[in-house]
């Protein structure tokens, strides 16, 4: 369907937009052309990209009353760039794909993607659909919820504040009765689960990808003025060809690299999608589109970068395709105009499977990494790579329950050894990953937490470094653990769970404590905060872990006082030992140039045909 005959579209708008062109916030006159038929938007806090990933993650996790901290560190974070027609110069990849999907049926001039402040310029009597894409509108996802609740009273994360502000703007539009509000993106489920449709003035939440015809049908209905279902789950495309790519600028230069994963962790949402690695040519053309529109940074979105090039091949997906990956990343960082490149997600087993791959990727990627870790990196310019990697737990018992295939090809019984070996190889190559941990898994005992603490203390003992980001188990919608119950507020955490949380943060702050004043500032600051507020909010179990965090009493003394648990030394397997414990038929996929193959092992003369990658895991 083409809406070309829609009354009042297309003319006269440019004049108004030229009047408001530029970086300043535009005036909010009603649209002279009657507005756009379909208006796309996203919360400003999910759109900005000039201060790096960190600012968005901080906004998801810090409560609104702490906004002043970010305002002082990034005074210009609200500055945005607009195209000459007033539309947004950059938007999250999700918005760009909704736009691209709609352009298959509607005219360019009927659609606009704009910043929340510009909505009044584009929503008018002609508007029939306002589509909001959101990652995390209410902050009820893991990590985001935990940190705001630790700080108490105002639990609203900064991002939720701005998401709510966006919905309030839409709700108060004088034309609200004429259009439907459709929400999508990875955070849509939060509106369903909290039943905030009326409060936020949302007509329909679409769960799934915009490419699907079911998603398009929602827009067709909205344009015809028909009632929409409150919630709809749409089919995920199953082929590489059906996935669309942005041809304009995305936030952080996000371009999709894969969908799905294949390791089948029980708590995971993205793993429910089909495992697809996307065509190189399409990835590269989206990279070039970003550069053309002034983006200097690129990030390939994936659940595990290491499966790319090894999906549905004769080799199981967990043996990375070194040549394909080096070729893809090489072409991306060498695309003229790409000045910065940031890694998104990966798993740790591939580092142990193929350390040479890590080395070759480091040589390619470090020069374009915007991350500098002066106290950790051995790179001449102190550059580092920090993909997001799931550690989740150090307890083999727990790992068997929630993520039995997380470490394939290695058995989950070797998980602690795998993590330590993987981290050793990554650190040697200046990769300092951000590792997530889950605290409060259903059925988690103090022994499980002690096992995780053992692993964390062992990292410290071996001088290995990862940013450890613990979050409290959140049963995510649609996952295999959606009906499970975890910890719902910080007061329920046991002293052991608190110790794990605080130990992780203490270790994270190590590189920031090399100045003479760093440790002192932490001691005084954290104890003052505890006296002022935190002890009331978080209860008595929080007290000693906080003293441990502050460093005001040594851990040895706290242990002597019986207040904390000091992780015990772990005897773990080396890479050679791990390989010796592999299923024999996996040996054929290991590369000899990495060494550590069993003595006397000779690779089979001809590569055998093996089962497909997905079958191999299950």
What DSSP designation does 380 have?
T
Nearer to ligand B12, 344 or 441 (CB): 344
- Separation of alpha carbons 228 and 184, rounded Å: 14
When asked if residue 264 is in the footprint of ligand SF4 (CB under 6 A), the reply is: yes
- Separation of alpha carbons 118 and 99, rounded Å: 17
Q: In terms of DSSP H, where are the helices of 405-494?
A: 415-428, 446-461
Nearest to 298 by CA among 315, 283, 313, 282: 283
Nearer to ligand SF4, 404 or 511 (CB): 404
Out of ligand B12, ligand SF4, none, what residue 264 binds, judged by CB under 5 to 8 A for its kind, is ligand SF4
CB atoms within 10 A of CB 401: 18
Beta strands in 459-559 (DSSP E): 467-472
- Separation of alpha carbons 179 and 203, rounded Å: 9
- Separation of alpha carbons 437 and 348, rounded Å: 14
When asked if residue 253 is in the footprint of ligand SF4 (CB under 6 A), the reply is: no
When asked if residue 263 is in the footprint of ligand SF4 (CB under 6 A), the reply is: yes
Nearer to ligand B12, 43 or 309 (CB): 43
Out of ligand SF4, ligand B12, none, what residue 390 binds, judged by CB under 5 to 8 A for its kind, is ligand SF4
Indicate which single residue of 270, 330, 475, 511 sits in contact with ligand SF4 (rule: CB under 6 A).
Answer: 270
Indicate which single residue of 55, 268, 449, 456 sits in contact with ligand SF4 (rule: CB under 6 A).
Answer: 268
Helix (H, G, I), strand (E, B) or coil at 129: strand
Indicate which single residue of 35, 390, 409, 486 sits in contact with ligand SF4 (rule: CB under 6 A).
Answer: 390
- Separation of alpha carbons 411 and 405, rounded Å: 8
State both tokens at 265: 């962790």
- Is the CB of residue 187 less than 8 Å from the CB of residue 477? no
Q: Please work out the total of residues on this chain that contact ligand SF4, with binding judged by CB under 6 A.
A: 13
Indicate which single residue of 13, 121, 128, 406 sits in contact with ligand SF4 (rule: CB under 6 A).
Answer: 406
Q: What angle, 0 to 180 degrees and rounded to 10, lies between the N-to-C axes of helices 543-550 and 495-508?
A: 20
Beta strands in 193-295 (DSSP E): 204-207, 231-233, 254-256, 258-259, 276-277
**Taking contact as CB under 6 A, which single stretch among the options 86-94, 258-266, 511-519, 591-599 is the one that binds ligand SF4?**
258-266
Nearest to 10 by CA among 39, 40, 33: 33
Q: Supply the minimum distance, in Å, between the C-beta of residue 70 and ligand B12.
A: 12
- Is the CB of residue 110 less than 8 Å from the CB of residue 126? no
**Taking contact as CB under 6 A, which single stretch among the options 80-88, 256-264, 331-339, 588-596 is the one that binds ligand SF4?**
256-264
Indicate which single residue of 49, 110, 118, 271 sits in contact with ligand SF4 (rule: CB under 6 A).
Answer: 271
Phi, psi of 157 (to 5 degrees): -65, 155
When asked if residue 350 is in the footprint of ligand SF4 (CB under 6 A), the reply is: no
When asked if residue 303 is in the footprint of ligand SF4 (CB under 6 A), the reply is: yes
Q: Supply the minimum distance, in Å, between the C-beta of residue 599 and ligand B12.
A: 40
Query: Looking up tokens 């004049």, which residue turns up?
Result: 15
Out of ligand B12, ligand SF4, none, what residue 271 binds, judged by CB under 5 to 8 A for its kind, is ligand SF4
Q: Supply the minimum distance, in Å, between the C-beta of residue 418 and ligand SF4.
A: 13
Q: Where does this chain bind ligand B12 (CB under 6 A)?
A: 45-46, 53, 56-57, 59-61, 92-94, 97-98, 131, 133, 135-136, 141, 143-144, 159, 182-187, 206, 209-211, 215, 251-252, 254, 256, 269-270, 301, 303, 344-345, 476
Interface residues toward ligand SF4, by CB under 6 A: 261, 263-265, 268, 270-271, 303-304, 347, 390, 403, 406
């Amino acid at each position: 369907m083409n809406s070309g005959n829609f009354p009042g579209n297309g003319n006269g708008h440019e004049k108004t937009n030229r009047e408001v062109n530029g970086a300043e916030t535009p005036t909010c006159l009603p649209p002279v052309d009657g507005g756009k038929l379909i208006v796309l938007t996203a919360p400003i806090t999910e759109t900005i990209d000039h201060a790096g990933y960190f600012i968005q993650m901080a906004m998801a996790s810090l409560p609104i009353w702490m906004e002043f901290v970010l305002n002082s560190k990034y005074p210009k974070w609200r500055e945005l760039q607009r195209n000459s027609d007033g539309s947004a110069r950059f938007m999250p990849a999700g918005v760009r794909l909704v736009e691209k999907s709609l352009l298959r049926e509607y005219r360019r001039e009927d659609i606009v993607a704009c910043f929340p402040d510009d909505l009044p310029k584009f929503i008018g009597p002609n508007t029939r659909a306002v589509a909001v894409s959101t990652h995390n509108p209410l902050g009820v996802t893991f990590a985001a919820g935990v940190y705001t609740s630790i700080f108490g009273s105002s639990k609203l994360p900064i991002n939720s504040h701005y998401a709510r502000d966006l919905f309030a703007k839409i709700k108060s539009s004088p034309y609200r009765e004429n259009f439907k509000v459709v929400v999508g993106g990875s955070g849509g489920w939060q509106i369903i689960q909290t039943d905030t449709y009326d409060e936020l003035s949302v007509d329909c939440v679409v769960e799934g990808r915009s490419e699907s015809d079911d998603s398009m049908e929602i827009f067709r209905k909205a344009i015809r003025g028909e009632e929409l279902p409150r919630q709809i789950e749409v089919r995920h495309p199953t082929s590489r060809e059906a996935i669309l790519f942005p041809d304009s600028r995305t936030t952080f230069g996000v371009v999709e690299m894969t969908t799905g994963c294949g390791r089948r962790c029980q708590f995971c949402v993205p793993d429910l999608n089909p495992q697809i690695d996307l065509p190189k040519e399409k990835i590269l053309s989206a990279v070039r589109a970003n550069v053309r529109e002034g983006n200097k940074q690129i990030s390939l979105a994936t659940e595990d970068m290491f499966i790319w090039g090894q999906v549905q091949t004769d080799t199981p997906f967990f043996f990375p395709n070194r040549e394909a990956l080096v070729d893809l990343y090489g072409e991306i960082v060498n695309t003229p105009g790409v000045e910065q490149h940031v890694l998104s997600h990966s798993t740790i087993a591939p580092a142990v499977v193929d350390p040479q791959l890590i080395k070759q990727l480091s040589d390619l990627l470090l020069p374009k990494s915007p991350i500098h870790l002066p106290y950790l990196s051995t790179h001449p310019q102190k550059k580092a790579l920090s993909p997001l990697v799931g550690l989740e737990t150090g307890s083999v018992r727990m790992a068997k329950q929630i993520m039995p295939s997380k470490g394939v090809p290695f058995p989950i019984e070797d998980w602690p050894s795998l993590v330590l070996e993987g981290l050793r190889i990554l650190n040697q190559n200046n990769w300092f990953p951000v590792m997530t941990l889950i605290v409060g898994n259903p059925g988690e005992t103090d022994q499980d937490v002690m096992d995780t603490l053992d692993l964390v203390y062992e990292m410290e003992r071996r001088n290995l470094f990862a940013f450890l980001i613990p979050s409290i188990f959140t049963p995510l919608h649609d996952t295999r653990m959606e009906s499970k119950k975890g910890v719902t507020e910080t007061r329920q955490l046991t002293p052991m769970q608190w110790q794990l949380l605080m130990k992780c943060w203490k270790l994270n702050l190590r590189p920031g404590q090399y100045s003479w004043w760093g440790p002192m500032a932490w001691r005084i600051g954290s104890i003052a905060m505890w006296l002022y507020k935190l002890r009331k909010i978080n209860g008595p179990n929080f007290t000693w872990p906080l003293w441990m965090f502050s460093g005001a009493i040594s851990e040895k003394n706290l242990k002597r006082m019986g207040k904390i648990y000091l992780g015990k030394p772990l005897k773990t397997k080396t890479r050679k030992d791990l390989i010796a414990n592999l299923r024999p038929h996996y040996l054929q996929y290991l590369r000899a140039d990495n060494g550590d193959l069993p003595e006397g092992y000779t690779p089979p003369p001809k590569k055998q045909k093996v089962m497909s990658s997905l079958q191999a895991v299950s």
